[in-house]
Every structure is written in structure tokens, then in C-alpha cells.
Amino acid sequence: MMLSLAILALLSVAAPWVCRYAGPARGVVLAAFPLGIGAWFASKIPAAADGEGIVESVAWLPELGLELSFRLDGLSLLFALMVTLIGAGVLLYAGAYMKGHHQIGRFFCYLIGFMTSMLGLVLADNLILLFIFWELTSITSYLLIGFNHDKKESRAGALQALMVTGLGGLAMLAGLVVLAFAAGDLAGVAGGVWNMSELPEGLSGHAHYPWIVALVLAGCLTKSAQFPFHFWLPSAMAAPSPVSAYLHSSTMVKAGVYLIARLHPNLATGTAEGLWEGLLIGFGATTMFVGAYLATRQTLYKRLLAYSTVSSLGVMVMLIGMGHPDAAAAYILAHAMFKGCLFLVAGIVDHEAGEKDVAEIGRLFRAMPATALAAVLAGISMAGVPLAPLAGFVAKEKMIKAGLDAGPLTALLTALIIAAGSFTVFIAIMTGFKPFFGKASREPKKHAHEAPWPMLAAPVILAVLGIVYALVPALFATPVVTAAGEAIKGGPFEAALRLDAFYYYEISLALGLSLLATLIGVGIYFGRGLWVKATSPFAKLDGVVGPAKMYDYAMLGLTKGSWAQTRVLQNGSLQVYIKMTLVAILGMFAWAIWRTGFLPSVGTNFERTGLLEWVLIISIAVSAIVATRLGSRLATVAVLGVIGYAVAVVFALYGGPDAAMTQFAVETLIVVIFVLVVYHLPRFAVYSGLAVRVMDLLLAATFGGVMACLVLAAGSQELFAPISAYFNEAAMPETPDGQSAYGRNLVNIILVDFRSVDTLGELVVLGIAAIGVYTLMKLRDDQEGTPVAEREGDEDQSEEGDA
Amino acid sequence: MNSLVLQTASRFLLPLLLLLSVVILLRGHNTPGGGFVGGLLAASAFALQAMAFDVESARRMLRVNLLAMVGLGLTLALVSGFFSLSAGGPLLKGLWFEVPVLGFDDPIKIGTPVLFDIGVYLTVLGVVLTMIFTLQEVVE
């Protein structure tokens, strides 16, 4: 498992080179890797299905409870197969779809980076690890939605998706931490339980249970585009079609569903009235209905599919909440096939016929027969047409049966399912039938022709698999769906799962309702002009107080609020900043002394102060005074350099050669940088009046005095045993044990070994600072007329982002 | 700046300072030094070159794009941590190997912290020079 992640991560970094050297074969070359990994996962179906699953684990940051622990069980396997196999098809497709794009290497880097993150997400067992992969999918999704970043709608859609899923993700992080500690309480583990496979039963009895549910669901519901957070998904359709098919239909948007399913055995209360189940059914059913309804008012191919995906995600959440894990798993697999196929078809229609609006186009069957065939099969599957032996029909029958078995909610849920089902039939006709056989209002913009084979492969295979699913379920559907369903349920099913279509051909209420939904859907299709008119008042309402509008208001408020607080707190005067900082620090000292009543005694041991020390002290003091009196910045900088050197000598005298060396080097470079900055500053002048300057002097003197006392106090008492003895022993023990750091310079060993994670973090900060300086100065250049082209070459340096 | 003294001094000092910076980088594990000081020292060598002649000549001498150098340094530091993962973790735990070298009696000890320190060296060098060069280019 870890090896597969490593391979994909490396492939992501290598993708630009593959694109450069493989030429038209890029899609085949890149797709081979996830295909191979998918085959490996497929070979693990029996092993993953036996309940325990396959576990791999490596310590990472044990001090923080972080572990690279991965676990492949039935649920992970279902998602891992979708991520790798659909991913392989999408890579093949994208190789042809993105042909000729000038940043094609970058595109594949992002896309495979996303694949890695998504695979990591569904395999991770550690909660924090899951969160890291979760956020990585948000970030790669942001990059992919905004891939055509010269378009305003791409940027807006990317930012919207990141804001909504990112905020939800932060709430979820809090929820996961509370969850881990609550689980630790129940299991009697002090540091919390961080591996999901070790979470105990009975979390619903914990005092923090409502918080856990609310926070974790905040992350899941935003990620899986549940109403009222659904609006980011249609906006995300600004992404290229392969991205929409892969991220925004088959995989990423299902991450929320995945986590809900993953935590279901631990967070479920066992009754439909429980908090967890109630919220899932409420959000899921609402989303299912609203998403499908909103889709009926769209005419753009991809937006239709996007809203219908919102509806499908609602179905999945609802089915888990209703306690039908088998139906949920069956639906997840069926949906990935028919919706992924239709998104790819939408991309083909756009690419080969230049059309995006399904209301305008029709009769493309002659020009692209294979595409039409795939679309019709996927459409029939999506509609769940009664008696058509396709995956969608089986999943829909299971869904209706679940609705008819919902206790007191039966009437309401069945009505919603049938309504959403009718809308879905209408969407299926609009997306799977109309573009190819319906009436065209005009000729397509481009001369329509069939897509090349790499673009046809994935949609055709997905469409055909929909038949295999329902006719020969034992081939792949039953084992995968059973394993996943049992993982969601948290135990084996009582009866064997039936996914063969014929099983559902009996005359029953469910089949009758399915037929009814189909008829209503066909009715809406023929009366669609009337339907749009009848529903337009609701659309107007949505435009004024809808969730998307609320988001706009919130963003506007955020911008205005930031602007206001910036003007008050960060007014640009360096003097004010420094004064605020000093006063705040003094205030904190005063508060600490007042609260604790602890006033450290100041040591006054000056015995070791010899002639050299006095020379240093006097030169520092004199330089400090001179620095305040000089009328030139350059001279001030030079004098401050003298102070720095003198301090470095103090370090050298008192046994800190490393600190001294660094101080010398830093002082030198700071003077150099200062000299360069001075050039940009206006003429030196004094604007402050006498009163202000006296106040400044008092503040500076107080601060300096307090700091001096603090240093003296710190040097004269020992509150804790120094850690240096431990470091000495760990660095170079008397008896080497293979664990030591093999070194004698403690300062360096702390930096590169004991605390190397901190150092790594600091290096990243340094890198960001360098990029900051670079962009600030270069942007200035651009305004002064330097060609933008110069920047292009340097923008690709984002190695650390992918590593 | 067109000072003959500075230019002549820079010609001699640059190689010496660079050599010294590498020595300081490598000796750091046992004696005062390390990647951070080494990187600063190397940066000051190139800063001297840039001041004595111009940024263009210093960049030519470096041959490498500075931000690429920062990226390389960060990658090295991170990659050095991955070695321990293959040995069962945790991340960034130092691994040491004894490598026999021809002409020495004792084998030379090489460890992943050395790679990490080289990463620190390159990052610091790249960051400091990015700041100095971009600022100085505006002045020029």
C-alpha cells in the first residue's frame, strides 16, 4: 500500500518529463501505473473482505501520536479500486483531451498528485494522516479547478471550492481530535486513540458526542457537497472535463461519504432517532431532492451532471443514515460507473462538437456512434429504467426498498425518493439521450466527429461494466460491494447480497414506484418548457437568499472586515508596530508577575567581569547611544553592526562558538541587506516632537531594563534540571547502542537530528520568505514595465509542494 | 561599485570563503559549524562578488537558479528523513553507515543527518542570496 502511494507520488513529480518525452503516448504511459496498482488491489479482494484487512504501519512522529498507518478493508478497497481504475481511464482520456495545451505537464502533475492524495485518504487508518490527505485533495482540487487560471470563473470556482471544503475540513480536524480523546477516555488510553481501526464501541455515550458528530459532519457534508453547501460543486465545473469526471463525480466528492461510512460503526447510535442517523437522513434526503430539482433547471451539460451528482451524494449519505450499508455501497459503485461515463461523454461532446448546451444540440448519433452508445447505456443505468439489467436499476431498486422500510418516515422518504427519481430520469434523458437522438435546434459549432480511441476507452468500458455489474454480479460487483457494505455495517450481513438484476424483476410495490418515477421523468422531458416556467419563481428566490448568495455576502463581509481591521491595527507606521509590540510584552510580564506573585531575584554575580568584558560592555553601550544620535541611516546601520559583533565576541568568550560564528555571519549579511534596503527609503528626517521622543525613550529604557533583569534572573536560578546531560548521553554514549547520533557538537546535532522536524519547518519558512521577497520585488518591476515573461520561467519551482 | 581593492580581494576571497564554508558544513557534526553557518558564509562570499562586480557576474558564477537551489535544499532535507521510514521510522531519525575509503585506516561514517545538513546549507544559501540579489538588482 505504502509502495503504491510512493509510486504515484513519484509519478506525479515525474509527469512533466513523461509528457515531454512520451509525446502522444503520454496517456498510455501514465495510465499504466494506476492500472497496475488497481490490479494489485483487485487481487486483494478476498484478503480485504475477511474483516481484519491488510495493515501496514511505520512510525512517523511518535511524540505527536502520528503514525503512517494504513489499512485496507472492504470499504477502503471499494474506493481504492475506483480511485486507481477510473483514474487510469481518466489519465488515458486526458492524454488526448489535453493535447496541445501548453501546460499539459503541470496538469498531469496535479492530477496524479490528486490521485495519490485520494488513495492515501481512503487507505489511511490514522486520523491525522487521514486529515492530511483530506486537505491535500482539497488543495489539488483547487489547483485543478483553477487550471485555466486566465479565466475568471475558473479562479472564482476554485476559490469557492477551497473555502467551503477547507473551512469544513478545519472543523473536522477539531472533531477528529475530540473524537480521538473521547475514544481514549473510553478505552482507557491516556494520549487518545488515533487509529480508526482501534476506536472503541459506544462513543455515543460520551459527553462530547454531540460535538464530535457536529464537527466531523461539518467536514464531511461540505466535502460531499450536501445542501446547503452544495453550491461549490456546480461552480467547480470550470475545471477541464477529465477533472470533473474524476474528482467531482467519481472520487473526491465521495470523500465525505467515505468518512461517514468509515466512522458509522463507531458513531451510530443504532436507532433512526439518534443524532448521527437523524442528521444523515435529514441532510441526505434534502440534498437528494434539492440537487435533483436544481438539475432540472439547467441546460449546460456539465452543470446538469453536477447537480445530479449533488443529488446522488445525498442518496449515499441518506442510505448510510437509514442503516442500509449494502444499498449505499451498491449505489456508490453504480454511480461511479454511470456518472463518470457521462462526464467523460460531456467532455467528448465539448471537445469534438464544440457544444456545451444540451438544449441546443441533438442528432449527434451519426457523427459519434460509440460515444452515443456509451451515453445511452449510462443514461439508462442512471435513470434506473425498470427491467433494464444495468447497475443503476439494481441500486435504485435497493434504494426504493430502503425507503419503503423506513419506519415512521416511510411516507416522507418514499415520496422524496420517487420525486428525486423522476427528476433523475429527466436528467438522464437530457444527458444520455437528447444530445445524440433528440432534436437539434441548430448545427453544432464544430464539425462533429468521433473521439479518438483513448478518449473512448474509459466511457465505453464504464458503460459496459454497468451491464456486467447487473448480469454477472459475481464477477466483481458482489464481492466488492459485500466487503464494503460489511465494513460500513461493522459486521457480516445476515443474508447474501443480491445484485443480479433478475432478482428485482418480481412484481412488487418497489418496481411499480420505479415505473411511476420513470413515467413522470419522461413527462417532464416532453413538457420541459412548461416545467421551467412553472419553477422560475423558486429560482428567483434562490438568487436572492440562496446558499450561493449567502456565501457571496459572507465573502464580501470578510473582505470588508479585514480591510477595516487592517486600517486600525496595521496602519503602516513602523513606530506604532514596535511600540505596540513592546507594550504588549511588558503587559504580559506584568500580568504574569501579578497572577503568580513570582518575582525572581536578580543575580548580581559580576566576579568574572574582567578587562575584556568591560571593553565589550562599554563599546556596546557607547554604540547604542551613538546609534540613536546619528543623522544618517548608513552610519546607524554600521554602528548597529558593531553592537552585533561585540555580542558575538561575548558568545565566543562564554563557550558558545557556534552561536558566535552564526552571529558574525548574520551581522555581516544583515549590514549588506540593510545597505541595499536603505537605497529604497526616503530621506532621513525626524518628524516626532520632543514629547513623543521622551515617551519613546522611557518605553525603550523600561523594556531594556526589564529584559536585562530577566536575563540576570534566568542566569541565577535553576528551576528545572538542564537537558544538556540527556543530550550529551544521547549524542555520544559511553557504550554505542546503534541509537546514538554519533556526534560531539550538540548544537549541530540538535539542529539536524534531535529537533530536525523543527529545522525542516524553519527551512520551509525561509523558502517562503525568499519567494515573498522575490515576488514583491519582481511585481514592482512588472509595474515599471519589465516583461511578465521573465516570471514564467521561475513559477514552476514548487518541488516541496509535491513531496 | 567599482573598487579595485574590493575586486581584487574578491577574486582571492571567493574561492577561499567557499572552501571554508564547505569545511565548516562538513565538520559541524563534531566541532563548531554546520549547514546554517556554512550556508551563511557561502552567501557572504557571493554577496561580496555581487558588490565588487555586479549581480550578473555573481549569478553567472553560481550557474544555478536560486529558487531552484532553495527547492533542492528543501527536497534534500526532506528526502534525508525518508531513509529512516524505510527502516521502520520515525521520520528524520538519523541513520549512519560506515563506508571504508581507500587510503584511510578507519572507515568514514556517513549518515542521513549529513544529507539533511547539506539541505540546510543549500536552502540558507539560496534564500539569503535571493534576498540580496533581488534587492541589489533594483539598485543597479
- Rounded to a whole number, what is the largest CA-CA distance in chain B? 58
| pLDDT over 60 (residue A784) | no
Q: What is the mean pLDDT of residues A476-503?
A: 83
Nearest CB to B70; choose among A666, A676, A767: A767
Q: What pLDDT was estimated at residue A790?
A: 42
DSSP string, A589-652: HHHHHHHH---PPPP---TT--HHHHHHHHHHHHHHHHHHH-S-HHHHHHHHHHHHHHHHHHHH
Rounded distance between C-alpha atoms, residue B39 and residue B57, angstroms: 20
Which is more confident, A263 or A497? A263
Which is more confident, A441 or A419? A419
Average pLDDT, chain A: 86
| pLDDT over 60 (residue A331) | yes
Nearest CB to A751; choose among B34, B43, B85: B34
Query: What are A114-142's pLDDT values in tens digits?
Result: 999 999 999 999 999 999 999 999 999 99
Confidence of residue A735 (pLDDT cuts 50, 70, 90): low
CA distances from B47 to A249, A691, B40, B58, B67 (A): 53, 42, 10, 8, 16
* Cross-chain residue pair B72–A799, CB shorter than 8 Å: yes
Under a CB-based contact definition with an 8 Å cutoff, are residues A263 and A183 in contact? no
Lowest-confidence range among A39-53, A144-158, A438-452, B80-94?
B80-94
Break chain A into its structural domains and give their ranges.
Answer: 325-526, 538-570, 755-803
* Cross-chain residue pair B74–A800, CB shorter than 8 Å: yes
CA A282 to chain centre: 25
- A with B: how many residue pairs have Cβ under 8 Å apart? 180
**Contacts by A474-479, CB closer than 8 A, 24 or more apart:** A476/A42, A477/A330, A477/A333, A477/A391, A479/A45, A479/A46, A479/A49
Residue A487 C-alpha cell reads as: 465494513
CA of B121 to nearest chain A CA: how many angstroms apart? 10
Supply the Cα-derived Rg of chain B in whole angstroms.
18
Rounded distance between C-alpha atoms, residue A81 and residue A37, angstroms: 9
- pTM of the full predicted structure? 0.84
| pLDDT over 80 (residue A356) | yes
Q: Is B26 on the interface with A (CB under 8 A)?
A: no
CA of A293 to nearest chain B CA: how many angstroms apart? 49
If DSSP codes are grouped into helix, strand and coil, which group holds residue A688? coil
Rounded distance between C-alpha atoms, residue B131 and residue B140, angstroms: 14
Q: What is the mean pLDDT of residues A386-400?
A: 85
Q: Is A550 on the interface with B (CB under 8 A)?
A: no
Query: What are B19-41's pLDDT values in tens digits?
Result: 999 998 888 877 888 889 999 99
Q: Is A581 on the interface with B (CB under 8 A)?
A: no
Q: What pLDDT was estimated at residue A791?
A: 40
Interface of A with B in 630-669 (CB under 8 A): 657-658, 661-662, 665-666, 668-669
Q: What pLDDT was estimated at residue A268?
A: 87
Under a CB-based contact definition with an 8 Å cutoff, are residues B119 and B92 in contact? no
Rounded distance between C-alpha atoms, residue A320 and residue B44, angstroms: 63
- Among A97-101, A208-212, A271-275, A537-541, name the most confident range: A208-212
Under a CB-based contact definition with an 8 Å cutoff, are residues A745 and B31 in contact? yes
Rounded distance between C-alpha atoms, residue A682 and residue A106, angstroms: 43
- CB contacts of A743 in chain B (<8 Å) are 29-30, 113
Q: What pLDDT was estimated at residue A799?
A: 37
Cis peptide bond prior to B90, omega within 30° of 0 = yes
Q: What pLDDT was estimated at residue A536?
A: 82
- Residues contacting residue A389 through CB under 8 Å, at least 6 positions apart: A467, A470, A471, A501, A502
Query: Which residue, B63, B12, B133, is CA-closest to A773?
Result: B133
Under a CB-based contact definition with an 8 Å cutoff, are residues A109 and A18 in contact? no
**Residue indicated by cell numbers 478497497:** A77
Residue A442 buriedness (CB in 10 A; 0-12 / 13-18 / 19+): exposed
Rounded distance between C-alpha atoms, residue A483 and residue A497, angstroms: 10
Query: What are A183-226's pLDDT values in tens digits?
Result: 998 888 888 888 888 888 888 888 899 999 999 999 999 999 99
Q: What is the mean pLDDT of residues A426-451?
A: 85
Mode of pairing for the β-strands spanning B108-111 and A66-72:
unpaired
- CB contacts of B29 in chain A (<8 Å) are 742-745, 748-749, 752
Q: What is the mean pLDDT of residues B82-102?
A: 76
Query: What are A676-701's pLDDT values in tens digits?
Result: 888 778 777 877 888 998 999 999 99
CA distances from A305 to A34, A372, A432, A640 (A): 26, 16, 10, 65
Interface of A with B in 108-127 (CB under 8 A): none
Confidence of residue A789 (pLDDT cuts 50, 70, 90): very low
Q: What pLDDT was estimated at residue A377?
A: 92
Residue A198 C-alpha cell reads as: 482501534
Q: What is the mean pLDDT of residues B107-132?
A: 88
Rounded distance between C-alpha atoms, residue A343 and residue A243, angstroms: 9
Under a CB-based contact definition with an 8 Å cutoff, are residues A137 and A255 in contact? yes
Lowest-confidence range among A144-158, A262-276, A422-436, A704-718?
A704-718
- Among A136-140, A395-399, A492-496, name the most confident range: A136-140
Here the ipTM equals 0.90
Break chain B into its structural domains and give their ranges.
Answer: 4-139
CA of B134 to nearest chain A CA: how many angstroms apart? 6
Rounded distance between C-alpha atoms, residue A783 and residue A724, angstroms: 53
Query: What are A445-466's pLDDT values in tens digits?
Result: 778 888 889 899 999 999 999 8
